[in-house]
Amino acid sequence: MDFCQLQQWNALFEPKSFLKTYQETLSELVSRLPENLLNKHLPYLSRCRWLAAQRSLILESSPSKDWADWELPRPLTRDQEWLLALSYKSRGALMAINGEYQKAASTFDDAISILDNGIFGTLPLLMAGSVCLMAKISLSVHEPVLSTKYSDLGKNLFEKLKSDGFCKNHPKISPNSWLLAFSEDKFMNTPQKYFVH
């Protein structure tokens, strides 16, 4: 897992470099692990690839050209499904920038349905709210009705987290800071948020 955590850092802060070296990184992971462990780690590395594409889009407005051919993570266990959900979020943003607005909305919905099922506790609600913010911003120009739907849903999720006292002692990732992002119509600028953003 440490290897994949390092790759997540690379995807987060050096997305273009990560995408250029993804195949080499994948080969390195394959060479390091036996098959039974490899299959547990592959969903994490796949998620990192989608995160890097999303970060590249946000930072430079230049998504990777071949993302439509990428595989999504294949979670082995239920507790890995968040990796698929956050990859759907990234894929939805890339679809929206590509003009595929209805497909993007459907993909955002898939992400939210995985995260907002009440099974995994509070943190997935934060992730689901982050999907709503991404959907709101990604669809705001060409699909304002859909954008408003995601804005309302996201605000409701963060209001619930706020009333539950989630992260009240951590102002940079508190529900209040996320709610502010909905009103400002912009992506998060705090690195901690990108782990769920």
Report angle CA 22, 27, 31 to the nearest 5 degrees.
Answer: 150
CA distance 6 to 158: 29
- The packing angle between helices 144-163 and 123-139, to 10°, is 160
Instruction: Read off the amino acid at residue 189.
Output: N
129 vs 157: CA distance, rounded Å: 6
Residue in 65, 134, 140, 60 with CA at minimum distance from that of residue 98:
65
Divide the 197 residues of the chain into consecutive groups of 10 and give the mean pLDDT of each group.
84 92 94 90 95 87 81 90 95 94 97 82 85 92 94 89 78 72 59 44
The number of CA neighbours under 13 Å toward the Cβ of 11 is 26
Give the residue among 128, 133, 129 at the shortest CA–CA distance from 115: 128
Residue where the block lists tokens 């706020």: 162
Q: State the residue for tokens 């709210």.
A: 129
**Domain ranges (residues) in the chain:** 1-65, 80-197
pLDDT given for residue 120 in this prediction: 63
Q: What is the pLDDT of residue 125?
A: 86
Would you report the helix, strand and coil content of the chain in percent, each value rounded to 5? 75, 0, 25
Dig out the tokens for 166 from the structure: 């989630």
pLDDT for 185? 58
DSSP 8-state assignment for residue 196: T
pLDDT attached to residue 119: 63
Residue pointed to by tokens 């998504």: 63
Separation between Cα atoms, residue 122 and residue 160, nearest integer Å? 10
Long-range contacts of 74-81 (CB under 8 A, 24+ apart): 74/42, 74/43, 74/46, 75/43, 76/39, 76/40, 76/43, 78/119, 79/120, 80/43, 81/114
CA 41 to centroid of chain Cα atoms: 18
- Spatial contact of 14 and 3, defined as CB atoms under 8 Å apart: no
